[in-house]
């Protein structure tokens, strides 16, 4: 593909999926820019279990050592009662054997900053909310609230669960009669969540942080609709997450209507986070001397880095239209129990980058072929991650089904658990247009179709240049 035929990619949204795609396109020498509505991206969030399958890609990007330095090995996770009684222990140490890399828990804000550093500052436009998107036969144009116009060959909606790109795309497809009914329904959620990360903690008060193999703990409230997890991360910090399980599925539109009718109902925003913290300050935690509570975590976390979010669960059927394609939470929103949300968004970005690289031209038919190949590869993976996340969420529920799921997990033979872990590391695709990474571990990797395609084009172009 000549320089003239390389597609120009407009990425709307500078979250993890958007910046991952930008970092990959930077390496692929494909022109792109990122437009983000926020004036700055606050380092909100808790911890990420990115897993060992991403380390080869970070090695290709040249950031693997920095990534590992940010992380803390995640060999074990524990589910406990409020009185510290153990309910379930999960051993992930076989990842090192199967993959050749261990799993890591990494602070989401720190990991985000690492990815953002891979992108030249002038290619990320903050404070630019996209109001309208117009497609022509040969271009897609994004008009912002600041009166600016950005245009390219392809627009990627990486702007989250309530994506404005998806909204505009779906409105157009609905008018044309091409939008499935399921895609016209609200995003449902049954949980809300508080997340944050502490400042560096005193190791004498929290001696467990000295232990590199210390597990991360999830406490299941005895008679509460709450679960809370604490993840030790690098820098003597703890990332924490508190999940409130609602009685039934709801949606943002329902909650906003209820807020309007009832002035006492807490809205989304700082007040919501503070209210949730006030209710849960006395919940016990495993760290420290055994007498500490969540209040310790809240008080040691900068208030502007604490956020309340709803945990939507949905996979959309429609992922693209015309010159527009969706990525990450914009097309699949997963329950956080499986820790798969950021992982699947980054894998979406990898697939798109491989396919963009392999495009023979930037014509509309070629673009739509790429979109079809992208969905064919990523939709089944998203469904699998969605189902796995919902299954894992059953371990912390209160109903009879959850009790059965917990009993099965407690009595699962070790060889079956090892098979489950092995399945997690089989799919570890890399970037076909970057230097190949020698596979490690005892399990041979399964390479994605997009990576194989990109690698074939890479060697073809390399041979043409040599000739």
CATH of the domain at 17: 3.50.50.60
**pLDDT for residue 429 is more than 80:** no
Task: Indicate whether 101 belongs to any domain.
Answer: no
**Secondary structure string (H, E, C) spanning the chain:** CCHHHCCCEEEECCCHHHHHHHHHHHHHCCCEEEECCCCCCCCCCCEECCCHHHHHHHHHHCCHHHHHHHEEECCEEEEECCCCCEEEEEECCHHHHHHCCCCEEEEHHHHHHHHHCCCCHHHEECCCCEEEEEECCCCEEEEECCCCEEEECEEEECCCCCCHHHHHHHHHHHHCCCCCHHHHCCCCEEEEEEEEECCCCCCCCCHHHHCCCCCEEEEECCCCCEEEEEEEECCCEEEEEEEEEEEEEECHHHHHHHHHHCCCCCCCCHHHHHHHHHHHCCCECCCCCCCCEHHHHHHCCCHHHCEEEEEECEECCCCEECCEEECHHHCEECCHHHCCHHHHHHHHHHHHHHHHHHCCCCCHHHHHHHHHHHHHHHHHHHHHHHHHHHHHHHHHCCCHHHHHHHHHHHCCCHHHHHHHHHHHHHECCCCCCCCCCCCCCCCCCECCHHHHHHHHHHHHHHHHHHC
* Beta-sheet strand order (sheet of 9-12): 124-125, 32-35, 9-12, 154-157, 324-326, 320-321
Given this model, what pLDDT does residue 264 score? Answer: 35
Given this model, what pLDDT does residue 55 score? Answer: 86
- The larger pLDDT score, comparing residue 115 to residue 427, is at 115
Interatomic CA distance for residues 32 and 29, integer angstroms: 9
Give Cα 182 distance to the centre of its chain.
23
Given this model, what pLDDT does residue 258 score? Answer: 53
Are 199 and 253 part of one and the same domain?
yes
Give the best-scoring range by mean pLDDT among 72-81, 185-194, 364-373: 364-373
Mean pLDDT value across residues 18-40: 95
Are 131 and 205 part of one and the same domain?
no
Choose among 324, 352, 359: nearest CA to 153: 324
Given this model, what pLDDT does residue 1 score? Answer: 52
The alpha carbon torsion through 192, 197, 198, 204 (nearest 10 deg) reads 100
Given this model, what pLDDT does residue 337 score? Answer: 58
How confident is residue 268, by pLDDT bands cut at 50, 70 and 90?
Answer: very low
Given this model, what pLDDT does residue 338 score? Answer: 54
Are 195 and 180 part of one and the same domain?
no
Mean pLDDT value across residues 225-250: 87
Are 167 and 31 part of one and the same domain?
yes
Mean pLDDT value across residues 401-424: 82
Give Cα 170 distance to the centre of its chain.
23
Task: Indicate whether 34 belongs to any domain.
Answer: yes
Lowest-confidence region among 30-44, 178-192, 262-276: 262-276
User: Considering Cα of 135, then 136, then 138, then 141, what sign does the dihedral take?
Assistant: negative
Given this model, what pLDDT does residue 304 score? Answer: 80
User: Which phi and psi (to 5°) does residue 293 adopt?
Assistant: -130, 180
Mean pLDDT value across residues 188-195: 86
Structure tokens at 62: 């040249």
Given this model, what pLDDT does residue 75 score? Answer: 82
**pLDDT for residue 63 is more than 90:** yes
Are 169 and 270 part of one and the same domain?
no
Interatomic CA distance for residues 457 and 455, integer angstroms: 5
How confident is residue 255, by pLDDT bands cut at 50, 70 and 90?
Answer: low
Lowest-confidence region among 107-121, 180-194, 401-415, 417-431: 417-431
Last residue of a domain, one of 258, 281, 312: 312
Q: Which residues contact 189 (CB under 8 A, 6 or more apart)?
A: 246, 249, 250, 251, 310, 311, 312, 313
Are 295 and 432 part of one and the same domain?
no
Lowest-confidence region among 242-246, 249-253, 281-285, 332-336: 249-253
Are 38 and 134 part of one and the same domain?
yes
Given this model, what pLDDT does residue 404 score? Answer: 82
Interatomic CA distance for residues 271 and 275, integer angstroms: 6
Are 174 and 45 part of one and the same domain?
yes
Are 139 and 207 part of one and the same domain?
no
The string of pLDDT tens digits covering residues 374-400 is 999 999 989 988 887 777 776 776 677
Task: Indicate whether 100 belongs to any domain.
Answer: no
Give the best-scoring range by mean pLDDT among 275-284, 398-407, 408-417: 275-284
Per the structure, the count of domains in the chain is 2
Given this model, what pLDDT does residue 260 score? Answer: 44
Given this model, what pLDDT does residue 297 score? Answer: 94
Are 443 and 326 part of one and the same domain?
yes
Task: Indicate whether 99 belongs to any domain.
Answer: no
SS3 for 382?
Answer: helix
Q: Domain range holding 55? A: 3-75+106-185+314-466
Mean pLDDT value across residues 227-247: 88
Given this model, what pLDDT does residue 339 score? Answer: 61
How confident is residue 269, by pLDDT bands cut at 50, 70 and 90?
Answer: low
SS3 for 219?
Answer: strand
Given this model, what pLDDT does residue 191 score? Answer: 82
Task: Indicate whether 81 belongs to any domain.
Answer: no
Are 267 and 288 part of one and the same domain?
yes
**pLDDT for residue 3 is more than 60:** no
Last residue of a domain, one of 274, 291, 312: 312
Task: Indicate whether 205 belongs to any domain.
Answer: yes
User: Which phi and psi (to 5°) does residue 96 adopt?
Assistant: -60, -40
Last residue of a domain, one of 312, 332, 350: 312
Task: Indicate whether 92 belongs to any domain.
Answer: no
Mean pLDDT value across residues 57-78: 89
Are 295 and 405 part of one and the same domain?
no
Task: Indicate whether 299 belongs to any domain.
Answer: yes
């Amino acid at each position: 593909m000549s320089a003239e035929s390389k597609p120009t990619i407009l990425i709307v949204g500078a979250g993890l999926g958007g910046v991952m795609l930008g970092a990959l396109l930077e390496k692929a020498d494909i022109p792109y820019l990122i437009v983000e509505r926020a004036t700055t991206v606050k380092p909100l969030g808790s911890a990420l279990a990115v897993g060992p399958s991403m380390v080869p890609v970070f090695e290709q990007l040249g950031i693997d050592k920095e990534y590992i330095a940010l992380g803390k090995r995640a060999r074990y996770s524990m589910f406990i009662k409020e009185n510290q009684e153990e309910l379930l222990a999960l051993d992930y140490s076989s990842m090192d054997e199967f993959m050749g890399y261990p799993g890591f828990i990494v602070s989401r804000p720190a990991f985000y900053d690492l990815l953002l550093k891979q992108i030249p500052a002038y290619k990320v436009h903050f404070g630019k909310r996209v109001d309208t998107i117009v497609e022509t036969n040969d271009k897609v144009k994004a008009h912002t609230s600041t009166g600016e116009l950005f245009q390219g060959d392809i627009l990627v909606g990486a702007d989250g669960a309530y994506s404005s790109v998806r909204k505009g795309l779906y409105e157009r497809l609905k008018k044309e009669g091409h939008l499935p009914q399921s895609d016209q329904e609200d995003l449902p959620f049954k949980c809300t969540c508080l997340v944050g990360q502490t400042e560096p903690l005193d190791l004498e008060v929290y001696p467990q942080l000295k232990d590199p193999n210390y597990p991360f703990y999830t406490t299941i409230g005895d008679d509460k609709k709450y679960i809370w997890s604490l993840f030790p991360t690098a820098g003597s910090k703890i990332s924490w997450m508190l999940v409130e399980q609602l009685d039934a599925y709801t949606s943002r539109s329902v909650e906003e209507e209820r807020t309007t009718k009832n002035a006492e109902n807490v809205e989304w925003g700082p007040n919501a986070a503070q209210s949730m913290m006030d209710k849960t300050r006395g919940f016990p935690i495993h760290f420290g001397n055994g007498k500490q509570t969540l209040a310790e975590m809240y008080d040691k976390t900068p208030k502007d880095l604490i956020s309340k979010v709803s945990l939507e669960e949905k996979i959309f059927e429609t992922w693209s239209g015309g010159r527009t394609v969706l990525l990450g939470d914009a097309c699949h929103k997963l329950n956080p129990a499986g820790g798969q949300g950021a992982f699947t968004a980054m894998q979406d970005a990898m697939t798109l980058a491989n396919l963009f690289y392999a495009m023979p031209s930037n014509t509309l038919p070629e673009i739509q072929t790429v979109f079809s190949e992208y969905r064919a590869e990523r939709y089944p993976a998203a469904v699998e991650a969605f189902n796995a996340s919902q299954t894992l969420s059953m371990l912390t529920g209160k109903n009879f089904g959850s009790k059965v799921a917990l009993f099965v997990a407690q009595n699962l033979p070790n060889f079956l658990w090892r098979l489950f872990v092995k399945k997690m590391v089989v799919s570890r695709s890399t970037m076909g247009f970057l230097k190949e990474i020698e596979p490690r571990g005892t399990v041979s990797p399964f390479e994605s179709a997009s990576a194989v395609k990109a690698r074939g084009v890479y060697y073809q172009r390399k041979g043409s240049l040599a000739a």
